[in-house]
Structure 1
């Protein structure tokens, strides 16, 4: 396909469509879990693996898949990942047992990692001009920021209107169309070749370390953070990742060149994103639990209650973030977005145990979540800054890995805190609704603290961009 402005924007549409399908699937399952449990006979502990198996595969493989995309070609990795994800979605929809659904969800995570790991790298290659790249990152930011909230809305409607199977079947036509469009519209790309960076030992160390780390975080809730299980697996994960870092310092062709962390901007952006995603992803889970367990919303009503957040984030990402970055710079836009998020989630510490008004108690937060659309777009630009052409897939994989680790850590820690505090309140004589709400109050207070910490780190470590001039994402020759 010719390299024209129209062809580049069509290619971006394909990338965003594939990413949206995968991001939607990360959250669309959450409101369908009760129906899945009832239909397939999951135990309470086993049900968590419908989400966990996906997150372990996704988070564990992102870094490796990103590097492989640089070596064999990012288009090839992107399209192959979509094909794997679509086939796995079909298996999920037809699952008749807990074991089959968990295995299919793991395979979905593999396909999701293959596709997501190279998406940002492809956007960087498509849009070398700073102003166009800011707009492209705005569209990409909408996919990441609005997709999760939209997934909850769709999950509730599909589950209640049809059945839980359709939260997976809906991926089939979208996936097939996107694969065909990707083959036709994405520019052919020749990778560097496996000989340029096939660090097999490094790949084994980082993949096993990340998978084990995500597993440890997820299972810390049921086992306890001080348990032998958590400490043992956490220590093993840390040892594997430390061995990986040592390997990268010595390897002739490292899987993850440590020079990438020499940039203060890239390192800070990834750490800020980890904190922000820990807060934002756990917020979605906690609000859904509050709506269903305290206010007794149905699955469909819960999904629709989250829809204003998706619409606000989408509007900000698509129509405001790029212009704001061009005028004020990434740093200032990021700080504004984080401040809005902190205020919005901080308001949830006042949620009542009964008689809540959606318009008064929840809608202001849903609207303030537009700050996520600002923050994620700015972070995307900052996190990909300094990416060389031969490292773009790896930088994309690293950026997405911090998202998944942050999400897993946030959900594990904050749901555990909410549950533990609720039990303490119930033991002291509080009613069920009061105890549950008290637990959510504590979790939302910690959520707010994480965002304030991210705001402080961003303010202290990231440099200002010149007003009216977008800070370019420098791609070295």
Structure 2
């Protein structure tokens, strides 16, 4: 049995005196359900889009706003949502987020027009920005025993990594056998169960000290910056990188982010205390989540296209084809958090996962129009599942470890923000790269015959070429992530992994502009 003993007596002593919440595992089930709802929503709505477009009669150009409306609201308000959970209490914020998300989903499911559906999706994003970081911060403050915390974050990380693939399966079933509207109505069912669980099981400790104040200027700066960043990448996906709107919003995001950092250094009640981000392990974790989010986009989007368009799988069969990846991800997440992370730390586990993901993406670059699922896709999915199960739980757990209780919400929000920004970057870059590769291939390999069969074959070859080109860049993302995480995460014995429970971060570090001092490395004894 592995026993973790801190070399810092004040921290180990504080841990020993804390009494674990007897309802903590039921709290985990409730939080996991809420997280699954948020993660599922993005994928199931994508599956429902063609049917919704036909039913509500909107154009291909308008279609992107069903996705963009959500991502803009969600991405720009995440830090505010995380801070609100610190201000009004995590249980209250959690329940408000659940009810609001369910109401917005019901509105979208009942939509009779394009505008109504877009408005409902934006409203989903608003409440999702409150719900997602609150769910993670509830987990952060509930599990204070290192071994149990590892198990809890293993479950949470597995859901964060596998939710998209589960959404493909669920979305295919709902769209094919029921209606596209049930891709939104299903959230109401999940939210009702989660609200009941939150009311009974989620516990919010009493606040100690004065209630913190909301940093209004900081909130406006970072919300505008994140809005501009997400919109800029979304515009690049639709209008291209030469669009003035693309570079205008991306440049504006850079200016606003610089202004936000300057203000946070001077603010008496900063929205995002900079010690949270400049801590090397947390900074490395946020960077790893961003890179993994960007790389994972290529797996789900382009592989879904390949399976449906080249292999001719129906939506349900396409969803089922991702199940082996989910199973491997869940297995890896449990092994990582319970066995490998306590022993080796994030400096080994995250680069290992990134390297494995690079191998998985390389396997996908070998696909052709004649490839098979069992012989070519399944091995890559198994490798990628184990890779993501090694990256996500370790990064998420390290990103929230040792954060003071009053900052748990905003620190958790940074995890979601990193994932959202990574997804936006991946969407814009990989879609642009794939579209360019498709055009170039068709230009260079125009069919010599104008028969329908020759044109179809050339189109299929071009599509596969565009997908494999995107996989090469996805592999480059993960390779860069392996190098960066290996350089940034601290070595064992240098603060690389400590066991301080939330709320036990050293106070002298909290107000330092430099990198804060960290608890000593725990000793692992058998």
TM-score (norm 2): 0.86
Q: 1:452 — aligned with what?
A: 479
Query: For the residues of structure 1 that align with 2:202 and 2:272, how far apart are their CA atoms?
Result: 26
Query: For the residues of structure 2 that align with 1:60 and 1:210, how far apart are their CA atoms?
Result: 5
Query: For the residues of structure 2 that align with 1:338 and 1:472, how far apart are their CA atoms?
Result: 24
Give the counterpart of 1:476 among 505, 514, 518: 505
Q: How does 1:100-179 map to 2 (within 5 A)?
A: 100-179=116-195
Classify 1:125/1:348 alpha carbon distance in 2 versus 1 (closer, same or farther; 3 Å). Answer: same
Conserved? CA contact 2:20–2:143, under 8 Å: no
Conserved? CA contact 2:72–2:230, under 8 Å: yes
Q: 1:297 — aligned with what?
A: 313
Q: 2:491 — aligned with what?
A: 464
Give the counterpart of 2:464 among 437, 440, 452: 437
Conserved? CA contact 2:336–2:349, under 8 Å: no
Q: 1:75 — aligned with what?
A: 91
Query: For the residues of structure 2 that align with 1:191 and 1:33, how far apart are their CA atoms?
Result: 44
Give unpaired runs (5+ residues) of structure 2.
1-17, 447-457, 507-526
Give the counterpart of 2:263 among 241, 247, 268: 247
Task: Please report how far the alpha carbon of residue 262 of structure 1 lies from its aligned counterpart in structure 2 after TM superposition.
Answer: 2.8
Give the counterpart of 2:378 among 363, 366, 370: 363
Query: For the residues of structure 1 that align with 2:346 and 2:257, how far apart are their CA atoms?
Result: 31
Q: How does 1:347-386 map to 2 (within 5 A)?
A: 347-352=363-368, 354-368=369-383, 369-386=385-402
Classify 1:473/1:436 alpha carbon distance in 2 versus 1 (closer, same or farther; 3 Å). Answer: farther
**What are the superposed Cα offsets for residues 412-445 of structure 1, whole Å, 9 maximum, x if unpaired?**
1101110111011112234101111111111100
Query: For the residues of structure 1 that align with 2:41 and 2:500, how far apart are their CA atoms?
Result: 30
Classify 1:470/1:269 alpha carbon distance in 2 versus 1 (closer, same or farther; 3 Å). Answer: closer
Query: For the residues of structure 2 that align with 1:341 and 1:432, how far apart are their CA atoms?
Result: 29
Classify 1:193/1:199 alpha carbon distance in 2 versus 1 (closer, same or farther; 3 Å). Answer: farther
User: Is 1:198 the counterpart of 2:227 in the alignment?
Assistant: no
Q: 2:443 — aligned with what?
A: 427
> Secondary structure, in 3 states, of the residue corresponding to 1:449?
helix
Tell me which moved more, 157-166 or 290-299.
Answer: 290-299
Q: 1:37 — aligned with what?
A: 53
**What are the superposed Cα offsets for residues 127-159 of structure 1, whole Å, 9 maximum, x if unpaired?**
112111111110111110111111111111111
Give the counterpart of 1:282 among 274, 298, 311: 298
> Secondary structure, in 3 states, of the residue corresponding to 1:196?
coil
Tell me which moved more, 16-25 or 239-248.
Answer: 239-248
Task: Please report how far the alpha carbon of residue 331 of structure 1 lies from its aligned counterpart in structure 2 after TM superposition.
Answer: 2.4
Query: For the residues of structure 2 that align with 1:57 and 1:174, how far apart are their CA atoms?
Result: 22
Q: 1:332 — aligned with what?
A: 348
Task: Please report how far the alpha carbon of residue 120 of structure 1 lies from its aligned counterpart in structure 2 after TM superposition.
Answer: 2.1
Conserved? CA contact 1:73–1:190, under 8 Å: no
Query: For the residues of structure 2 that align with 1:382 and 1:224, how far apart are their CA atoms?
Result: 36
> Secondary structure, in 3 states, of the residue corresponding to 1:177?
helix
Task: Please report how far the alpha carbon of residue 385 of structure 1 lies from its aligned counterpart in structure 2 after TM superposition.
Answer: 2.9
Tell me which moved more, 366-375 or 323-332.
Answer: 323-332
Query: For the residues of structure 1 that align with 2:470 and 2:338, how far apart are their CA atoms?
Result: 32
Query: For the residues of structure 2 that align with 1:45 and 1:226, how far apart are their CA atoms?
Result: 18
Query: For the residues of structure 1 that align with 2:348 and 2:87, how far apart are their CA atoms?
Result: 36
Task: Please report how far the alpha carbon of residue 4 of structure 1 lies from its aligned counterpart in structure 2 after TM superposition.
Answer: 5.0
Q: Which has the larger radius of gyration?
A: 2
Conserved? CA contact 1:130–1:470, under 8 Å: no
> Secondary structure, in 3 states, of the residue corresponding to 2:490?
coil
Task: Please report how far the alpha carbon of residue 301 of structure 1 lies from its aligned counterpart in structure 2 after TM superposition.
Answer: 2.2
Task: Please report how far the alpha carbon of residue 5 of structure 1 lies from its aligned counterpart in structure 2 after TM superposition.
Answer: 5.3
Query: For the residues of structure 2 that align with 1:171 and 1:103, how far apart are their CA atoms?
Result: 17
User: Is 1:391 the counterpart of 2:398 in the alignment?
Assistant: no
Task: Please report how far the alpha carbon of residue 470 of structure 1 lies from its aligned counterpart in structure 2 after TM superposition.
Answer: 6.4
Q: 2:233 — aligned with what?
A: 217
Conserved? CA contact 1:384–1:396, under 8 Å: yes
Query: For the residues of structure 1 that align with 2:113 and 2:94, how far apart are their CA atoms?
Result: 30
Classify 1:150/1:181 alpha carbon distance in 2 versus 1 (closer, same or farther; 3 Å). Answer: same
User: Is 1:94 the counterpart of 2:121 in the alignment?
Assistant: no
Q: 2:287 — aligned with what?
A: 271
TM-score (norm 1): 0.94
Query: For the residues of structure 2 that align with 1:319 and 1:259, how far apart are their CA atoms?
Result: 30
Conserved? CA contact 1:269–1:383, under 8 Å: yes
Query: For the residues of structure 2 that align with 1:65 and 1:189, how far apart are their CA atoms?
Result: 19
Query: For the residues of structure 1 that align with 2:445 and 2:184, how far apart are their CA atoms?
Result: 42
Conserved? CA contact 1:72–1:193, under 8 Å: no
Conserved? CA contact 1:70–1:394, under 8 Å: yes
Conserved? CA contact 1:217–1:412, under 8 Å: yes
> Secondary structure, in 3 states, of the residue corresponding to 2:124?
helix
Q: 1:19 — aligned with what?
A: 35
Conserved? CA contact 1:192–1:390, under 8 Å: no
Query: What is the CA RMSD across the aligned residues, in angstroms?
Result: 2.0
Task: Please report how far the alpha carbon of residue 402 of structure 1 lies from its aligned counterpart in structure 2 after TM superposition.
Answer: 0.5
Task: Please report how far the alpha carbon of residue 320 of structure 1 lies from its aligned counterpart in structure 2 after TM superposition.
Answer: 5.1
Tell me which moved more, 224-233 or 131-140.
Answer: 224-233
Tell me which moved more, 287-296 or 418-427.
Answer: 287-296
Give unpaired runs (5+ residues) of structure 1.
none
**What are the superposed Cα offsets for residues 283-322 of structure 1, whole Å, 9 maximum, x if unpaired?**
2111112222333332222222222222221232245542
Query: For the residues of structure 2 that align with 1:473 and 1:149, how far apart are their CA atoms?
Result: 34
